[in-house]
């Protein structure tokens, strides 16, 4: 059997650590230790005048406060950028970064630079003082494509806007790419087979996974962008396969 | 549970509405209303001197005669072009277009323009006065790749040629693309995971699905090009997921 | 039921015919005849001063010695190049070539020309007098991505280096491409859905499969690069589907 691991699961945009509830229970039932922090700028009433670095700092602080080591640090969706930056601060605590349907941002890019133009056009229509929250239609059709409308409405109903700067701050990721290039931190990429949050092709997951280098371990899993909601048992198993040595 | 829908299932080239028999039974067992018209120019003894518009007209006429509304209109293979044109005539009757292994033809293109060159080369060898019927080897290896030869022979044995003009008429699809661009009609794309009727890559399903815009709901399903024959229960379930609100 | 076939299963680099043990048992339980030769230059103590043609000759000699005909000749990984060249020598004995996660080398290329640059960079670091054996990390992360580390270590522990010339000899494949282009020998391509031994994209399996022409039968199967180890029953079934008429 696999040795017990310490999983830290980082939610995607507009959500909180609560999104991992069922996956965390599955992982714990296999003997693993699981943390599901909610990052700064997320959740009801969160401030919207934060920078990308503030979200990263809240994650790093969580890892230090809980004195965690040998961490399998999992980032969903835009949290790919938060775990990459966090790894720069506490590389010695992290064994492996797992990107789940996640953005692997190019050095010097902002998150928004990684989105396809037809989606950033939607960003542009939003009021920056209100933060960013994607419209329901896009969430429903692209991220909840395998769900009933009522379930998509439940997910969307719990969402809250996040700071605009999370998407627009340019990110210096040189240390991150050195850490994974040198093999000091290992990486895995998990692609749910029905995930079309980004269109297949030029912006597809394959190109993102390739940025993580020739030793990135890639795995498919059932479900779509919110596999943690629709397929928690299968996702927990894939996370174990992605995170083990 | 999902509200009952009205499905209109449009067969692909060389076939008839009978190809949907098992899928239709599955959908009806879930409470849905199902229609499986055979379009003009298809089936034994059909005239071969028809135009693409004639096939579309026969579909529109069927929808009007049966006084259908709130339709989930499904097109298989080349029928992607027939449902797109039909939507231009009766947009108010259609809730969603579902493209199943289907061509989403570019405005101004003919169906043949969407085929890879190695397959249109095969078209060129056919006698136009006999209509178009692809050779058995191509059907067997690319569309029936997951079947026993005897099953491929059964499918091919029931096929009849269709008018050449179906493949060569240039299509004005400006109204169609306005309808889906404005969100007046929603779209879904279903890709059977083993479908290699078109080669993966430049002519792969991803590029076709992308033409349907940033809100097209994309779903994978088991089987290959004739999933309605090999995986009717699974396909019916995916059609329900593709067609629901 | 499918007629009994004669399967000849050719292992990939660094391995021997023993790798097929469980798949062979499955195929035999379905009534098929199965051969699993070990090619020259493979296995403990094998000479490392051989050429690509020597490995091909050892395969052709095996087929002749055993007087095999109507062969379904399966090649795994780099053995795609060995079965292609063998087909040039005994085309009359072969019904179909099945490429399993295999390289379809372009005419005039060496095997190494088909590898992505980040992997050939790894080749360059090896001592040619010792033969080629990829490092454990690459095998573990890219080829054993769906396995526990202990299972990856078992596979790697049984591996032995192969002659460098297998990767660097330029291959004249004109006769092979004529044989499959003319339809004298049919081809199938099997892709395990989790196989990332080569990165998806420019070096992905789709482009390799496309080289095999418009009538190549493509099938997906569960597992990753060593599906014969992790999913022998499913792979045997897919091999039957790939090899049948």
Percent of chain A with pLDDT over 70: 97
Highest mean pLDDT among A127-141, A188-202, B124-138, C173-187: C173-187
pLDDT category at B125 given cuts 50, 70, 90 is low
Whole-number Å distance between alpha carbons of A28 and B37: 53
Residue A19 has pLDDT above 80, yes or no: yes
Q: Is C206 part of the contact surface with chain A (CB cutoff 8 Å)?
A: no
Whole-number Å distance between alpha carbons of C11 and C37: 8
**Predicted local distance difference test score (pLDDT) of residue C125:** 58
Section B201-227 average pLDDT: 92
Section C83-98 average pLDDT: 98
Whole-number Å distance between alpha carbons of B35 and B38: 10
Greater model confidence, A87 or A2: A87
Q: What is the pTM of this model?
A: 0.95
Cβ(C226)–Cβ(C147) below 8 Å? yes
Mean of per-residue pLDDT scores for chain A? 94
Of the candidates A101, A106, A56, A112, the residue with the CA atom closest to the CA atom of residue A83: A56
Q: Is C120 part of the contact surface with chain A (CB cutoff 8 Å)?
A: no
Residue B144 has pLDDT above 50, yes or no: yes
Which domains are delineated in chain B? 6-243 (3.40.50.1820)
Whole-number Å distance between alpha carbons of C201 and C207: 9
Whole-number Å distance between alpha carbons of C39 and C79: 9
CB neighbours (10 Å) of residue A31? 11
Section A179-187 average pLDDT: 96
Q: What is the pLDDT of residues A80-136, one digit of tens each?
A: 999 999 999 999 999 999 999 999 999 999 999 999 888 887 776 566 678 999 999
Q: Is C217 part of the contact surface with chain B (CB cutoff 8 Å)?
A: yes
C38-43 contacts: CB < 8 A, separation 24 or more? C38/C11, C39/C10, C39/C11, C39/C79, C39/C82, C41/C162, C41/C163, C41/C166, C42/C11, C42/C13, C42/C14, C42/C15, C42/C16, C42/C160, C42/C162, C43/C16, C43/C160
Whole-number Å distance between alpha carbons of C18 and A31: 36
Q: Can you say how many angstroms the Cα of residue B50 is from the centroid of all Cα atoms in its chain?
A: 18
Cβ(B13)–Cβ(B132) below 8 Å? yes
pLDDT category at C199 given cuts 50, 70, 90 is confident
Residue B194 has pLDDT above 70, yes or no: yes
Whole-number Å distance between alpha carbons of C156 and C149: 10
With 0-12 CB in 10 A as exposed, 13-18 as middle and 19+ as buried, what is A238? Answer: buried
The DSSP output letter for A70 is S
pLDDT category at A212 given cuts 50, 70, 90 is very high
For the ranges A40-54, A223-237, C119-133, C153-167, which has the lowest average pLDDT? C119-133
Residue B2 has pLDDT above 80, yes or no: no
The DSSP output letter for C162 is B
Q: How far lies B152's CA from each of A16, A116, B22, B158, in Å?
A: 51, 40, 17, 10
3-state secondary structure of C161: coil
Section C86-96 average pLDDT: 98
- A contacts of C204 (beta carbons < 8 Å): 206
Residue C182 has pLDDT above 50, yes or no: yes
Q: Is C216 part of the contact surface with chain B (CB cutoff 8 Å)?
A: yes
pLDDT category at B126 given cuts 50, 70, 90 is low
- C contacts of A186 (beta carbons < 8 Å): 141
Whole-number Å distance between alpha carbons of B104 and B208: 6
- Of the candidates C215, C220, C244, the beta carbon closest to that of B148 is on C244
Q: Which backbone phi and psi does C7 adopt, to 5 degrees? A: -95, 130
Residue C1 has pLDDT above 50, yes or no: no
**Predicted local distance difference test score (pLDDT) of residue A1:** 40
3-state secondary structure of B216: coil
Distance from CA of C186 to the nearest CA of B (A): 10
Residues whose CB is less than 8 angstroms from the CB of residue C232 and which lie 6 or more positions away in sequence, other chains included: C22, C23, C25, C26
**Predicted local distance difference test score (pLDDT) of residue C200:** 81
**Sheet of C217-221, strands arranged across:** C33-35, C6-10, C71-76, C94-100, C186-192, C217-221
* Predicted interface score ipTM higher than 0.90: yes
Chain A: partners with 3+ C-beta pairs within 8 Å: B, C
pLDDT category at B124 given cuts 50, 70, 90 is low
**Predicted local distance difference test score (pLDDT) of residue C203:** 85
Q: What is the pLDDT of residues A191-207, one digit of tens each?
A: 999 999 988 878 889 88
Percent of chain A with pLDDT over 90: 85
- B contacts of A142 (beta carbons < 8 Å): 214-215, 217
Section C69-86 average pLDDT: 98
Whole-number Å distance between alpha carbons of B186 and A243: 39
- A contacts of B182 (beta carbons < 8 Å): none
Mean of per-residue pLDDT scores for chain B? 94
**Predicted local distance difference test score (pLDDT) of residue C105:** 97
């Amino acid at each position: 059997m696999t040795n017990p691991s310490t999983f830290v699961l980082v939610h995607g945009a507009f959500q909180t650590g609560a999104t991992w509830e069922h996956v965390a229970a599955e992982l714990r039932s296999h003997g693993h230790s699981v943390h599901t922090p909610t990052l700064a700028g997320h959740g009801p009433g969160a401030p919207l005048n934060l920078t990308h670095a503030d979200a990263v700092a809240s994650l790093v602080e969580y890892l230090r406060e809980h004195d965690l080591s040998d961490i399998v640090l999992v980032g969903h969706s835009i949290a790919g950028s938060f775990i990459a930056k966090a790894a720069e601060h506490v590389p010695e605590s992290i064994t492996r970064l797992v990107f789940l349907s996640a953005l692997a941002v190019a050095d010097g890019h902002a998150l928004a630079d990684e989105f396809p133009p037809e989606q950033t056009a939607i960003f542009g229509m939003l009021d920056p003082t209100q933060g960013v929250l994607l419209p329901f239609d896009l969430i429903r059709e692209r991220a909840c494509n395998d769900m009933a409308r009522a379930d998509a409405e439940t997910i969307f109903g719990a969402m809250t806007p996040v700071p605009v700067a999370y998407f627009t701050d340019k990110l210096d990721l040189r240390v991150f790419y050195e850490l994974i290039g040198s093999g000091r931190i290992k990486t895995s990429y998990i692609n749910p087979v029905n995930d079309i949050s980004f269109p297949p092709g030029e912006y597809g997951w394959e190109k993102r996974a390739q940025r993580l280098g020739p030793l990135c371990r890639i795995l498919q899993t059932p479900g779509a962008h919110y596999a943690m909601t629709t397929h928690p048992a299968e996702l927990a198993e894939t996370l174990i396969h992605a995170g083990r040595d």
